[in-house]
Structure 1
Amino acid sequence: MVFVRGTAIRWMAAVVAAACVLGFWQTGFAGNETRNSLFQGTEAMIVQAKEKRAYLFAPDAFGEAMEAYQDALTDFNKGRNLNGIRKELKKAESYLTRAMAVCVTAEVTFENVLKAREDASSIGSEKYSEKLTAKAEAEFQRAVRSLEDGDVDKARGQAGEAEALFRSAELETIKHALLGKTREKLARFEDLGRKNNAPKTYEKARRLVALAEKKLDQNRYNNAEAVALVKEAEYELAHTEHIHTRVGKLKEADYSFEDVIIDMEMQLVKIAEGLDMELKFDRGVSGATWQLLDGVQALKASNDAKDREIADLKAKVTDLETSVASLSKLEQDLMARKHEAEEALKRQKEAERLKHMKITRIRDAFTPEEGKVLMDGDKIIIRLYGLSFSSGKAVIDYKYFGLLAKVRDTFKEFPGCRVVIEGHTDSLGSEKVNKRLSKERADSVRHYLIANSVVTDDQISAVGYGEDKPVASNETRQGRASNRRIDVVIIPARG
């Protein structure tokens, strides 16, 4: 697509030859340090210049550079004087430096025109808008030459003209892509005279294409409206084709106006039969059409009523499904709760059974003379009738160690339990002394159990009630003996 002057053509030939020589040297004399030291810097600049598109923005300077580089390669290959080779390479580097300086300015000056050029090329404007594209490219090359000659203002003006031309080529290509086939069909119909039998329909198609073109002029990139208009135009052209063919056949068959009207009426009759209607044509086709329209509207109203009924039924079904789903979930919840309750009841019964077994084992461990096991709610009370102290004393006689060992063993039945040792006396003596003595005796039992069982200091406590909680009358010897006692209260851990 690029139009270049003779100098640019010469540097292209030089590039090809240089590539061949480079390939030869790289494959044949890769270890030649003299060659590398001579050409390495220049070749690096050539690569850099190509990356900056110096061949496009500064074709003259880049072409001169490549010719000088080619001359240096030729001289080196022929073994000529190194000073001459260096001179050619220096010349090439000078032109490359000038070309890359132009490239820096070109990137800014030609930003818009390059974008327009790329957009046009990407959709094939060279093929579908050949003249405009060639004109745009020629103007762009003039801008390039002006910039390379140092006239930035002139280059900028020429670039603006080239940009407008590229955009026109782009629009022409877009129109060709969207409207081309339809335009060709319009022209063909006119040439073949098909519009003569359907001029109004043909004209409608033509107006639709014109409107689509106007939409593209307004916004070439958002072409949805234009595409829709073209589809309508294609339909109207197909309609034109049908009318043209139909009119032609009528003319060939020498149809009368009556034949045409009767034929039209028969088309309506076919529709009426589908609706189970009988048409009357005494008021002409228009009257029959209104009759059909009334029938269609009645059918539509009936269908609408049925649709509403169906919608109502669907809504009811949805409500029922929702209710069923709710009931199903409720049933599942109830079943889950029932299962949980049954499991909880099983656990409770099992816990009660285990507790009963424990209580039975504890009761069996003590003789009636040693003690009695009582229940107070969840609490287990071991009333130690067999444990007694000397009058006014709180020291445990060694003969009771066996009895206390049984008490200690009961704690194993209730891991983590809390224990309260209660000391009680009869009513003889002063109340203050009795309370102190009962506390001391409870403390003695507590200390013994801590020292000889699994319970820890913070699990077991002692309290002295004195004569406050009798279990029998203090008026009799036997009653007073019952009141002088140690109660071991076991409080099982929860859970």
Structure 2
Amino acid sequence: MNIFSPTLYKQASQSYSDAIKWASADDPKANSFAQTGLSTLAKANANAVQSRYILEEVLNARSKTIAAGASTSQASKFKEAEKSFLGLTTLIESGKVSKAKDGRTEVLKAYQQLELIALKGDTVEHAKMALASAKKSDVDDHAPKTLKLAEEEYQLALNVFDADRNNVDKAAVHANRSLWYSQRASQISETLRHFESSDYSEEDKVLWYQEQISRLAAPITNEVAYNLPNKEVIKGLNADIQGIINANAVLLGELEASSAGKQQLAREKEEVLMLSMQAQRENQAAASKFAFVQSLFTQNEAEVYRQTNDVLIRAYGFDFPSGKSEIESTNFALLNKITEAISTFPHAKILVSGHTDNVGGDQFNLSLSEARAEKVALFLNQVGNIPIERIEFKGYGKQRPVISNETAEGRAANRRVEILIINGTQSKT
């Protein structure tokens, strides 16, 4: 909210601070400041919905930029882009929507450029630095073929990014190959320079090579058959190593077979524990949301009930003119609270139902209750910015009283509008 509706968020934060101050002094003024803060947040939420809609493309680019790590690797430039983005949301909040729309392209490009820099910044940059270091050290004097392979792979990485900036994995493959070839060329160059500085003869070079093989083969044999052709030496060592690998594979298979039951049991226990923890977290989250919705309404405004994961708001506080369905301005505060409650469940379906007492004809009451439910549904859509496809409405007339109509109090309780927030467990009928 501090991004999408910064001014109102700041006002709400101040109201909260004032409420805490007065509450600490046990002064009832705290309630007034808290209500002001909640009302301000409801307005901020409406602004935020509008900002998200207008800046949808910019928001997508911003998310990709953050996912690419630009917020840390390009911190200063990212802060500049964020400042420009905040300028757009501030314009929308102050009613300058056209000006905000005009500024979208520039901010969008800023985020996209940052994303590209961040994507190229790690692997490709390392490959570039390794190439530059190798050339500076004149590695191409000794290993020109290997260094050329490094240059080709680096160029392929750049080409992949130019064609599709999202193809990070493929670009990273080429960049890593380039880095590997650069490092290999540097090691070739270092080895040859060692030969040159030590005045190695051709025989010395072969003996050095055989010494390296002996060190490699030491764990499996003390005698390498250098009396045979080189290809036979390599073939024999390869066979020895493959034999060890095969033996280890057999032993590993036996170990896996003996421990399979224990591993399966451990996995099942872990899955049960994870499911239990997930269910506990979901239940805690649902309870927290329900408690928040309950806190929005006074006793005279509405009663709030939890039905598994669904929430029923039974609103008595609507002030409709007798026999009419028009929403009076005195109802706006209650409707804003209902909007805020619904916003707590962004994916839920909403069923608005109207109810009357038993005074008057059946058909008149049925039509009146449906008209009132429809007006409330339209308010939630048009003012509360809740998508219309999430909302249904229905009138029940006097069919579903919550208390006897024998008294004036009972009839007043039966004249109500109910808002059912459906999270998937409650039937609409």
Q: TM-score, length-normalised on structure 1?
A: 0.37
Higher RCO (CA-CA < 8 Å; seq separation 6+) = 2
